């Protein structure tokens, strides 16, 4: 089969590799669509993991083989595959901090080499613990490109619930890339009023089209008075930092009201440092929280939101590329231009 193999030096090479063999309890899935995620971009651009690897974890495809003993699945069914699931029985799982579970940190989907997701290949092997708890069936009539967005919707839904977005609250979302736009959709779905920022005019326009009251260019004057004018002078009730740029967290705090909640979603680098006034947090009684990755508790709900069309996620897809063009897709995702948003790889093309 063909696969885009990470070979080091920030490069992918489309090569012929063996179709992975499956063991008892496992599935072989033909990958029909796999979204390019920013976490994969970081691993490739910054050479965070040793090569060779096959990345890609926003996977939707078709079951083509069942390992011995597999129940509840059949050849030919469409599935969404999560690459992380927790044990549900450890210290962290009992506190619903699934992303901190040791089992969760294990990658259970591979197209070969050290497991790394594998969705940038024609077939993936889904290991037994993922088969038991991390595979969702795709209803008839739902496209694979829409279905592959279930995993990022799950991660964003987890964050929106963590920040407790509620009806009539004012939510400020910094950044309107694919993830920021998912936050706009989900915050609006929760009933919140949404305002946003982004450098790109097209993304700001789409943000408004998806329900934001305003979407501003952060270079056009001071953001804080604009937010204050929509909130009785107080500031945003909640802020989601969906982009990583110098001063992002400080801007989020500055635009928030006392007693607000500020959620960091894109600040995943150990090198990124944040300095805040203690008084802004303590005297201002603000809550600063982080959220990372998907939740097993939200697999069904995130699937329903995508499958039923409650969230028009296909409007976020700007490019559908064959595996042979994946390097162009990576470059577009790393250096987005007007008109580029979510990029989906279709390995069977």
CATH number of residue 124's parent domain? 3.90.180.10
pLDDT digits (tens, 9 = 90+) for 246-294: 999 999 999 999 999 999 999 988 888 999 999 999 999 999 999 999 9
- The pLDDT score that the predictor gives to residue 158 is 98
H-assigned helices in the chain: 38-45, 91-94, 128-133, 144-147, 150-162, 178-189, 201-209, 223-229, 248-254, 278-281, 299-307, 326-334
256-264 and 109-110 beta bridge pairing: unpaired
Helix (H, G, I), strand (E, B) or coil at 343: strand
Can you give the pTM of this predicted structure?
A: 0.97
Helix H or strand E segment including 78: strand 78-81
Q: Is residue 191 part of a domain?
A: yes
pLDDT digits (tens, 9 = 90+) for 92-133: 999 999 999 999 999 999 999 999 999 999 999 999 999 999
The answer to whether residues 231 and 134 belong to one domain is no
Q: Is residue 157 part of a domain?
A: no
Closest CA to 186 of 35, 298, 333, 37: 298
Q: Contact at 8 Å (CB) between 197 and 175?
A: yes
Buried b (16+ CB within 10 A) or exposed e, 328-338: ebbebbeebee
The answer to whether residues 103 and 6 belong to one domain is yes
pLDDT digits (tens, 9 = 90+) for 27-50: 999 999 999 998 999 999 999 999
Q: Contact at 8 Å (CB) between 45 and 151?
A: no
The answer to whether residues 97 and 188 belong to one domain is no
The answer to whether residues 148 and 13 belong to one domain is yes
What's the CA gap between 304 and 79, in Å, rounded?
13
Q: Is residue 143 part of a domain?
A: yes
In this structure, the number of other CB atoms found within 10 A of the CB of residue 21 comes to: 11
Residue at which a domain ends, from 266, 290, 314: 290
- The pLDDT score that the predictor gives to residue 272 is 87
- Number of folded domains that form the chain: 2
The answer to whether residues 136 and 274 belong to one domain is no
The answer to whether residues 200 and 234 belong to one domain is yes
Strand partners for 79 = 61, 137
Residue at which a domain ends, from 245, 272, 290: 290
Quote the tokens at residue 191: 């009933």
Domain with 195 in it: 164-290
The answer to whether residues 10 and 61 belong to one domain is yes
Tell me, what CATH number does 268's domain have? 3.40.50.720
pLDDT digits (tens, 9 = 90+) for 48-94: 999 999 999 999 999 999 999 999 999 999 999 999 999 999 999 99
Torsion of CA 85, 91, 95, 97, to 10 degrees: -40
The answer to whether residues 13 and 76 belong to one domain is yes
- The pLDDT score that the predictor gives to residue 271 is 84
The answer to whether residues 106 and 19 belong to one domain is yes
């Amino acid at each position: 089969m063909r696969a885009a193999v990470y070979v080091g030096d920030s490069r992918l090479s489309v090569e012929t590799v063996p179709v992975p063999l499956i063991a008892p309890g496992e599935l072989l899935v033909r990958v029909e669509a796999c979204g390019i995620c920013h976490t994969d971009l970081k691993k490739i651009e910054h050479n965070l993991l040793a090569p060779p690897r096959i990345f890609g974890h926003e996977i939707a495809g078709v079951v083509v083989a069942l390992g011995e003993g597999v129940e509840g699945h059949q050849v030919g069914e469409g599935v969404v595959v999560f690459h992380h699931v927790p044990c549900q029985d450890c210290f962290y799982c009992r506190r619903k901090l699934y992303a901190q579970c040791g089992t969760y940190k294990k990658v259970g989907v591979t197209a070969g080499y050290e497991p790394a997701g594998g969705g940038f290949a024609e077939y993936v092997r889904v290991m037994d613990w993922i088969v038991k708890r991390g595979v969702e069936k795709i209803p008839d009539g739902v496209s694979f490109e829409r279905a592959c967005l279930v995993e990022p919707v799950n991660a964003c839904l987890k964050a929106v619930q963590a920040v407790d977005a509620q009806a009539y609250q004012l939510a400020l979302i910094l950044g309107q890339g694919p993830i920021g736009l998912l936050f706009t959709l989900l915050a609006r779905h929760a009933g919140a009023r949404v305002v946003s920022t982004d450098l790109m005019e097209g993304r700001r326009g789409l943000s408004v089209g998806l329900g934001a009251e305003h979407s501003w260019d952060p270079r056009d004057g001071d953001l804080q008075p604009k937010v204050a004018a929509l909130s009785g002078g107080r500031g945003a009730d909640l802020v989601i930092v969906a982009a990583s740029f110098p001063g992002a967290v400080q801007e989020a705090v500055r635009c928030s009201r006392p007693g607000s909640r500020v959620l960091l979603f894109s600040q995943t680098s150990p090198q990124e440092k944040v300095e805040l006034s203690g008084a802004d947090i303590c005297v201002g009684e603000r809550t600063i929280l982080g959220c990372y990755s998907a939740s097993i508790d939200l697999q069904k709900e995130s699937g329903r939101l995508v499958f039923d069309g409650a969230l028009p996620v296909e409007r976020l897809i700007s490019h559908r590329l064959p595996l042979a063009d994946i390097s162009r897709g990576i470059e577009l995702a790393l250096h987005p231009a007007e008109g580029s948003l979510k990029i989906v790889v279709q390995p069977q093309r």
